[in-house]
Every structure is written in structure tokens, then in C-alpha cells.
Structure 1
């Protein structure tokens, strides 16, 4: 075995001078101040991290370093400095304010197209700073490119920044950089950090990099902006090697090509394509992308972990793939655990957005139907209700047609995609027509919004009569709801738990909510005028969503409850996607095109539905053979009934970190229903809002037969639920042709809520509308007083 090389100090200094040149000599001038032990600890961490990231230093250099680690003396420091120079991108000296002066290191500045390359950065820290060490890409524009309009503003106009042609701006933004692992400085005089550089493009490009400690500041308009950005950045040329366009084969459970979501990351947890470098239809606020069978994604050679999903009715597919010249293809065969369509159930999400919240506000960045349809198809939804609201209203209203559409999933702005080096070709699939969009309206950001956000489905006209801007609309909801009903629309109150949370999770409960938000609110008034069809939830605590609905059902109202997501606004930060809350409607055939959409909405309106997180399915729910819906099951006298259901539910065998994380952010998720450490959930029989019986069920995806017997001695409603995962619409039962007056206490609760609601909201109503609003609230009071008088049971 060769003996370790042990040059003396003079030889090392001479060699370093020859290697680096006179201009590099200042790097070594202060080596006497470097303490060997902490220095080598930093070097060891850095080279181990490079190895863990798949970019180890050469074996011979690693062997040389190993011998230097064991010595930990001044000569070893100098030798290590000379050796590490060939892997160092930049040598940075920090002043006492954290500003970094950088010089080029000796590393070859080779990158890879649409991939990450790791480099060492040598940090000289004479002031012993302990802030986070930072790197920023000094491009022509900040990282977020363009200002974002406030999502809470009223009518938004399309903002065009400095130019109507953004290709040139986008082309310049090819470089991204970050400090890996722990960026916090140790305070040592010299240490090494790992910087990774992402290149969007191939070929030779000039890049600008800046460095500092504790200098990046978050700006609400522009994102992360450095106060060092006015300083001269380190400017150098990079050469990026080309990557490959990977052909995707994505087949549904039946072997037919389809759309699905893919989350792609490498062993270092870098996501591909990087989120902040995306343009629609690949969106920056979600880690996954949507691709169809036959489409492509560009990746460098290497190993990747792929997670493929298509909504909660499918098993998650995971694979590790290696991309190389001999294998530039990824093939996926999806697998369902349940197909509700075989039972006649078709899913929809009643609350999606294409602008505002996390979406872009600029027309040239999306989001148009061509992008939204990818989400609907990729989550296997039959229907997606895309609701225009005040955010982006001026631009988004152009997509309203008064009909359902199933557009081609083409690129919205090919010229911008080309400028972003992402000009892949969209491909149709045989499954495309199974999903459709309908553009409608949410009353959010309008003058009446604080009375509750309305969902208006199946509108024929989008603008309220006599209005020229959002600000002209009514300042309370009932006029808007009546206008929508007059044109055949369905009216619902979305994210119904908002302002309805009280100090208990009991169901039903009788605490009076604050009504200080935008949930159920004025629904308790509008329902007495026949102007409310449904409440919508699955994005709030179940007790807060269900309580008012239960009380209204107890008073004889037959309004529905629908599943919704409110994508991309009220969605989990780790799993932002449509269809987290779903409504399943029963139809004799698959809904296709506008006629299919109308049939789906008719089914919802008539109560042929169940809803939830898509992990619990009530495939056949009956009371004495009668399916759920508004047509009651009539008896002359008190009778025993048989309640039966075919149910399937899916829990993972044991909770995974991903499932636990998702459940922590999703109020409706079957993980909440898990009984202890088992794979069981409780199926509850609900009569007039009370869970009267329960059975435990194995949630392994298999079909389970559940049945109950119950005596019904007064007009009632009967439903089943797996709390926090799924719920049926009721079967209504009448005894002696009497209306449902299941609980005087429910009517009293609603009557008290009308007063509380008026006290909270009346000061927000225009003076010119106040008299009409007061009369409408009085009508609600009188209605509930009458129901109280008709209710002989508490």
C-alpha cells in the first residue's frame, strides 16, 4: 500500500500557488488562523454530503482527504484547501454585515439541463457570523417574476407587468440555486457549504450568483429579495449538458390510456420539474404535475422516485426508475380499489377555482380551461365546477358559456412554454370525454360575501341585472340567490363550517355560533324562502359542517349536502389537488357533455347522492328498499324499518407518514375514522341527527354488507355515515302523512340563530337594502316560530 503523501509547508504553499495562480493566493493567506479540528469537521460533512447526493469526489482525492483528516494540523489544512479547490464553485468572504464578496473557484462549471448539480462553496467568516448562509440567482427579475394581486381584493383587472410580451423575461430566468442541508453558519473562520445549481436550459449560458448571510428578506410583492442584489454578483459562464424527453405510458386499470398526476423526485428530494420554474399547466403551488398517456417529461439521466395517483379510488403507485440512453421511458399501470361507476355513481367537485388564491392572476400565466381539465381528468372526476369569483373576475368570466365543456388539454400559451424550455406536446386519451368542466360563479369578494359564500351552479347568465362591476352587486345574499333560482340554477353555501365552529364536537349540538365568517350563515334564512338547495363541505370540521344541516333536516327541509374542495384555496399544503372532497351522484349512464352535466345536477338536486373524501362509498343504501332522495317512504303508523347498505372503505394497513400528514390537514379523511390501531371504522345509523346504532367495519376495500333495524314512531329522516369520511343523503320517512318535525329544540336553535345572524350581519348591508333584508329575516323568524309550535317533541 502506498504511503500517504506528506509534503512540507513550503512545498504545499508553492504547489498551491502554481495550481491557483497569483490572483487566488489570498485564499491561503490566513490559513494559520484556521483551527484544524472544526475545519476538518466541516470538510468531512461537506464531502459526505456530496457523496450522499450522488456526486462524490474522486476516489483518489477522498483517500488523500482521509489521510489529512487523521492529521488535523496546519499543513493538512493547506493540503486540503488545494485539493478541494477543484470542487469549489465560489470562494466567499463575508463582512461583518453578512455581505459576501465572491471569487470563482476551480470547479468545472458544468451543469445539466433541467437538473441539479452540486458544488462546494468555501465560506470565509472572519466575524464568526452564525446566520443562515444564502445563495441567490441574480437574474433580471425576482424569483416570483411578477407581482401578485391581493386575493382578498374585489374586482381584479388583468395585470400585464412591464410588457405584454413576456417571452424575453422568461428566457432570462434559466438559473436557480440553493444551499443544501443546514445553511446555518457555525461561526468558524472557514467552512464549506454545498450549493446546488439548477439549469432550465442546455448549452452555454451566463449566470449571476450572489452570496451572503442573513441578508435575504421576504417582500410580499416580489418574494425573496436580497439587499445585496445591488452589489456586483459573481458572473460566469456555465455549460449545461442536454437531458432526455422521457416518454410516458400511463394506462388506467382497464388498460386504456388516461391522465394522472405524477410526483417525481430524486434521492436528494429535488422535485421535477422544480415548482418555482413552472408555467401552466404545471403549477408552482403543487408538487405534482398532470400528464397523459403518450406525453413526456424532461429529465437528466439518473434515478428517480415516482408516485402516480388518480384520485382516492385508486391505489397509489410508487416506483423507482433509472433514466438513461437505453431506457428513456416510464410505464405505469394504474390500479383501482373501487370503481363506483360500476354501481352507477359518478363523482364531481362542486367548488374549484381557476384564478385567485394560489393561482396566477395574469392571463398569460393561466389558468384557462385547457389547464383545469387536466386536473379533473387527472383526478378521475366526472364533473368539475370551476367557480369564477371576484379574484380574476374580469378575465375568468370569458370562459363562462352556460354549458359544460370537455376541452382539449393543450398548452395555454405555447410561446411562454417554449421560452421556459418546456414545450412538450399534449396528447389526447380515450378517457378524455369522461371528464367535463362547467364554469359558474362563487359569490366571494362580492358585497354580500360576509353573509356566506354562495355557489351558483347551472347559471344561464353570469352578471346580476343592472350591475357594471362586482361592487354593484347586492350586499346580502337572498336577492342573488333568488336571481340564480329564477334561471334554474342550484344555490349552495360553500365551506359551510366557517363561522360555525363552537366549543363542542357533539352532533347535534345547540351552541349558538358566532357567524363571524363566510360559511352557512344566511342559509338558515334563505332556506325559509326556498332559495337554498345545498350546503357544501368536506373542508371543515365535520361537526361544524353537519350541525346546521341536521337541524334544518329536523325541521322538514330537504336541502342536500355536497362534497367540495375549494381548490386551490382551502386545500392541504402537501396535497393540493381537486377532488379532496367529492359528491357522488347516481345516474343510469355515465354523464357526457352538457346533457350529462344536466343529468348529474338533476341527480344532485333530487338527493341521489353521497359525499365524502372518496375513501368511503355507500354503493347501495336503502330503507325498506327505498333509496335516498326527496321522495318519502310513507307509513300510516309507527313501523319497524330495515336499513341496509353495501359499503366499501379503504384504510391503509397501518398509517403511513404521508397519510398522517394529509389527514392532519384534511378535516375529512378516513384516517380520522380509524378505530385505535385497527383497520376498522364505525358505520353509524343516523336518525334525526342522532347516531342511534353503529357497527364496526373492516376498511380493506372489500364490499361489506351493513344492516340495522330501527323503529320509526314519527316522521323522520334516516342516513348512514362514517364520520369524517363519508355520509349518505337521507331517506325521508313520513308517519300518518305528517311533515318532519323531529325536534322542537332544533327549531328553537335555528330561530335563535336568525337573531344572532342579524346582529352580526345587518351593519354590513347597504341602507337602501336594509328594509328588504329585515323583512326577509322576519319571515325566517315567523317560519321557525311556526315550526316550533308544530313540534311536539324536544
Structure 2
């Protein structure tokens, strides 16, 4: 049966799913979401809110459909996420008479649509056409969210609604010091196998992943922080701290180690001691809804110039803090690759709101995607798309340069977005080296594009990356950031700034003092180990 022919039975299906007798004073809103170009039904995320402020959650109107309701709110403020993800089938909602705002979104590659709908006493039909503005898979880019707290039952529905290619649910999760994740207090996995779950040929779930997020030590409140082990092959039966044995086991099993938030108390110890692989440039405090974590954990050093207000971090300040911490680590020689994680399932944020896109040459393949993520052939986004090469090489490439003279590197590509670009910057060793004029050209799709064509003169070892920001009517900070490109110049090694390495040394000194008498000697020894690594790096500072 064609989609248009199926409309003839849509009303009947709605009555079956919603009940022939809707709730008193309720009217059936019958709807469908289709691709504006192909007319095909689309999986999607939908918000329905009445003028009275109440949220409503539709259901699939097909016996073959699926529905996942998501209701999360942080405290009593406006940081809330109230949506439904629906499979590619018609839907129905029971609504009292009144006026409603209906918003439909699908990941990052379609324009969102908002409609005002008035419901009277008769059933209302609604068709929403979503217009694709970019097709990332056709361009060889595939997305992932590496910090996920959704269930295996929910993920097939949610990933298709968000068009997210790869997810890593952290089904093994422990918050108590020394407790093994296999019996973790937050663990929801049961005999999880290290086998890829395929939703369809380009959407997959890798289910065996672990989060160590330590809030108590020996039964007393003492926050250390969090890291993840992704893509490992057996359930970890070791608690932390210390952490070095977990890193070694992850390496043996082909896992990747991901730093959660950069300013947890132990984060700057984990990087040198564990050899952390991935840094979240968009973390689980970056939301579609209002920014909520204005005060969180360790404060930034003054040299980072992080924006704050009377409440603490601004959204832009929090994001910049992450950038500056990442740049500091890169300048110290730690080549972490960028990633993005939402913690959807815990926080008020859709799955994949912040996501990492990885470039693949030959279509989607999970192992190739993991290799690309590990190599840094990627960019992180909360909105814009960023396609950049340096001398025709992708992000993650390492250039070897003779030390006799400087060389010119060509930074080329485009930044694209559904909003005009506010600014595009080429960052070298953590400083803005070039600002690209944000001359946004409107494309036939209705989105905006800005060319990047800059030359960077390199005389000593460095890394460089490109970042861009949208100019949005609501003033929110939405960005994209490439993985770094590295240039190794013979005889002229990369050197951190003194203020950067001093920050890392002080962080370790403060944490050693804080943890004395609380952590066992072998765990405290890892902080001393990190301190010595940083002190050695400090000898090369400029």
C-alpha cells in the first residue's frame, strides 16, 4: 500500500490506538511527518505544548509503530526536555480543546518545523513536511553519541528518530569507590555480550561500555569524577581508584578511554596516567533546553578568561572552558581526539544533540567508524557542519616538516548551517590565528554556507583546528569544532605556555592535598605520578 493510499485507513488506526472513546473533553489530533522531497514517512522527535504550559505526548497510530516518551527537568527552572520520539508511522494525540505549539525535529540534517494548531470539538489532521538541508551520509560523514544512558529497548526508536548512526549505552555504571561495575549501583546491563546490535545497515548500537563515576569513597561523600571505557569486550570486575589497571585492560580489549567533563576533581590526573583517548568538546551539560549547570566542580584558571555572570558559568563560558582545557592538554603533547556525549537518559537533552561526525571513505562500517574516531578524522557539532582539510588532508593528519625554514599550510573548506554563521576561526596552539569573514551565502536548500580559504605559516611544531559559531535569533551558543591537525617540525618541538602547565601542576597539588587521608596509597600515588609528568613537561614551557 502506498503512503497516500494508507491515509484512507489512518483515521481507523487512530481510533484503534487511541481508543474509540477518547478521554472526556479530549479530541484526537492525527498527524504524520514526511520528508518534503520524497513524501516518505520519517521517524522524528515531537513536542506538543498547550497555551496553558502543559505538555502532551502522542502515540504511534500504527500497530507496527513505536513510541518513546521523554520527560526530564532539572530542578524547578526552565531546563526541561519534554518530547516524544516516534517511528516512521502516523501518530495520534488526545488533546483538550485549545491552542497548541507543535515542534518537530529530526537530528541535525533537517530544518525544524513549528506549527500552531487549534483544536476544537472535531478531530484534527496534521501533516508536517521536514525539509532536509544536508545529507551527511551521502557526503561520507556518520554521527555518534559516546555518552548514552538510554536503554537497549529504547535506542532503536530513538536513534532512528534522531538519525544517529552510532550509540554507546553505558549499561555498566558505578558511583562508589572500589566497587566493580559488574555489580555497580547504577548498572542496568545483564550478561551484555560484546556484539554489535544493528538497527539497520547504517544505525548501530555497541552495548558493552562502562562508566566509572565516583561520588563516594569508603561510604563517605568524596567526589572524584567520571570516565568511560567504550567498545570493550568483557565485563570489568575491578573497581577504582587506582585507575591504571583499567586503562591497561581497555587497551588489551581494543577499548577507547573517554574523559567525561574536564573539570571533575580527578580529570587532569586521568589524562597522563590512563592515556585518555577522547575529550568531550560537547558534554552532557550542553543542552537544547536552557543551560542549567552554572556552578559545577573545579573553577577555571584566570588565564582562560571564561565568561561568567552572577549565577556562575554562562553557556558560552562553559563551552569555552572546555575548549581552553582541551587546548591546554594539546599544547602539553596529549593528543586527545574530540568527541561528544549527551548523557541522554539522565539529563534534559535529546540523544545526539551534541554529536561527533566521523568521515568514512567507503560507506558506513562500525569498525571503520571507530578507527576514524580514534584517529581524530572528525568534527563535533551542536548545530553547524564543518568540512575542513589542511593541504587536502583530513583532521587527525600528522604533517612532518623539516626544521630549516617555515612552511605554508592551506586551510580550506566550508562551514554550513541552518542559521547564518557568526564567526569562523582557525585556532593554532589554542590561540585564534585567523578569523574568516563570515560571509554566509544562502544555498538552494535554504541553509547557509561560508567558504574557508586561509594560509597558516608554520615555523615550529604546532596543532591547528577550525571552529565556527552560528548567529542565532535566540542568542544560544551553537558550534562546530574540527579535530586537530598536527605539524611536527624537526628540532622545534611543541611547547606549552607557562600558565598552562602551571595550571595543571597546581591542579595536581590541590588534589593531592584534598585526597590525603582519604584515598589509599596506590591511588594517591597516581596523582603524584601525574604531578611528576607535568613537572617534566614544565621544563619545556615558554
Moved more, 555-564 or 338-347: 338-347
Q: 1:379 aligns with which of 162, 184, 196?
A: 162
1:67-95 CA distance string (max 9 Å, x none): xxxxxxxxxxxxxxxxxxxxxxxxxxxxx
| Aligned equivalent of 2:308 | none
Does 2:89 correspond to 1:294?
A: yes
1:306-346 CA distance string (max 9 Å, x none): 21111233211133457799976533321122233232221
Q: 2:341 aligns with which of 558, 564, 571?
A: 564
- With normalisation by structure 1, the TM-score equals 0.52
- In 2, Cα distance between equivalents of 1:485 and 1:293: 40
- In 2, Cα distance between equivalents of 1:734 and 1:485: 26
Q: 1:608 aligns with which of 362, 372, 377?
A: 377
Contact 2:42 2:88 in 1 (8 A): yes
Q: How large is the Cα RMSD of the aligned pairs?
A: 3.4
Give the drift of 1:585.
0.9
| Aligned equivalent of 1:462 | 235
Label 1:522 to 1:737 Cα distance change in 2 as closer, same or farther (>3 A).
Answer: farther
Give the drift of 1:455.
1.4
Q: 2:280 aligns with which of 515, 518, 536?
A: 536
Give the drift of 1:745.
4.4
Contact 1:261 1:310 in 2 (8 A): yes
| Residue correspondences, number | 452
Higher strand content, 1 or 2? 2
| Aligned equivalent of 1:681 | 422
Helix, strand or coil: the match of 1:384?
A: strand
- With normalisation by structure 2, the TM-score equals 0.74
1:23-82 CA distance string (max 9 Å, x none): xxxxxxxxxxxxxxxxxxxxxxxxxxxxxxxxxxxxxxxxxxxxxxxxxxxxxxxxxxxx
| Aligned equivalent of 2:449 | 703
Does 2:128 correspond to 1:332?
A: yes
Does 2:352 correspond to 1:582?
A: no
Label 1:480 to 1:451 Cα distance change in 2 as closer, same or farther (>3 A).
Answer: farther
5 Å-filtered alignment, 1:222-237, equals: none
| Aligned equivalent of 1:638 | 405
Q: 2:194 aligns with which of 398, 402, 405?
A: 402
Contact 1:715 1:742 in 2 (8 A): no
| Aligned equivalent of 2:69 | 282
Q: 1:257 aligns with which of 27, 41, 55?
A: 41
Q: 1:629 aligns with which of 393, 396, 402?
A: 396
Label 1:288 to 1:401 Cα distance change in 2 as closer, same or farther (>3 A).
Answer: same
Helix, strand or coil: the match of 1:336?
A: coil
Contact 2:215 2:225 in 1 (8 A): no
Contact 2:104 2:112 in 1 (8 A): yes
| Aligned equivalent of 2:106 | 310
| Aligned equivalent of 1:732 | 486
Does 2:229 correspond to 1:441?
A: no
| Aligned equivalent of 2:153 | 370
Contact 2:424 2:438 in 1 (8 A): yes
Does 2:158 correspond to 1:345?
A: no
Contact 1:250 1:260 in 2 (8 A): no
1:390-414 CA distance string (max 9 Å, x none): 388576112732233245xxxxxxx
Helix, strand or coil: the match of 1:485?
A: helix
Contact 2:415 2:452 in 1 (8 A): no
1:264-283 CA distance string (max 9 Å, x none): 244545432389xxx97323
| Aligned equivalent of 1:715 | 461
- In 2, Cα distance between equivalents of 1:380 and 1:399: 28
- In 2, Cα distance between equivalents of 1:266 and 1:779: 57
Helix, strand or coil: the match of 1:629?
A: coil
- In 2, Cα distance between equivalents of 1:680 and 1:703: 8
- In 1, Cα distance between equivalents of 2:57 and 2:529: 57
Does 2:56 correspond to 1:272?
A: yes
Does 2:326 correspond to 1:549?
A: yes
- In 1, Cα distance between equivalents of 2:37 and 2:168: 26
Label 1:401 to 1:324 Cα distance change in 2 as closer, same or farther (>3 A).
Answer: farther
- In 1, Cα distance between equivalents of 2:123 and 2:266: 59
- In 2, Cα distance between equivalents of 1:247 and 1:727: 37
| Aligned equivalent of 1:390 | 174
Contact 2:461 2:488 in 1 (8 A): yes
Q: 1:784 aligns with which of 512, 534, 538?
A: 534
Does 2:438 correspond to 1:692?
A: no
5 Å-filtered alignment, 1:470-485, equals: 473-485=239-251
1:451-479 CA distance string (max 9 Å, x none): 320111101122324xxxxxxx2234333
Label 1:287 to 1:775 Cα distance change in 2 as closer, same or farther (>3 A).
Answer: closer
Helix, strand or coil: the match of 1:248?
A: strand
Contact 2:244 2:274 in 1 (8 A): no
Give the drift of 1:298.
3.6
Higher helix content, 1 or 2? 1
| Aligned equivalent of 1:80 | none
Label 1:774 to 1:323 Cα distance change in 2 as closer, same or farther (>3 A).
Answer: closer
1:584-610 CA distance string (max 9 Å, x none): 11112443xxxx333222111111011
Helix, strand or coil: the match of 2:174?
A: coil
Higher relative contact order (CA 8 A, sep 6+): 2
Contact 1:643 1:708 in 2 (8 A): yes
1:369-400 CA distance string (max 9 Å, x none): 22233222211211122113238857611273
Helix, strand or coil: the match of 1:646?
A: strand
Contact 1:403 1:438 in 2 (8 A): yes
Give the drift of 1:688.
0.7
Contact 1:558 1:630 in 2 (8 A): no
Does 2:431 correspond to 1:648?
A: no
1:470-511 CA distance string (max 9 Å, x none): xxx223433333332332110111122xxx3xxxxxxxxxxx
Give the drift of 1:260.
0.1
- In 2, Cα distance between equivalents of 1:460 and 1:554: 33
Contact 1:202 1:240 in 2 (8 A): no
| Aligned equivalent of 1:56 | none
Label 1:305 to 1:570 Cα distance change in 2 as closer, same or farther (>3 A).
Answer: closer
5+ long unaligned stretches in structure 1: 1-113, 115-199, 205-238, 355-367, 408-431, 466-472, 501-518, 653-678
1:601-656 CA distance string (max 9 Å, x none): 2111111011121x22211x22222321153343343323233232334364xxxx
1:431-459 CA distance string (max 9 Å, x none): x5432222322112475793320111101
Contact 1:719 1:730 in 2 (8 A): yes
- In 2, Cα distance between equivalents of 1:394 and 1:683: 41
5 Å-filtered alignment, 1:743-754, equals: 743-754=497-508
Contact 1:283 1:289 in 2 (8 A): yes
Label 1:268 to 1:274 Cα distance change in 2 as closer, same or farther (>3 A).
Answer: farther
| Aligned equivalent of 1:486 | 252
Helix, strand or coil: the match of 2:70?
A: coil
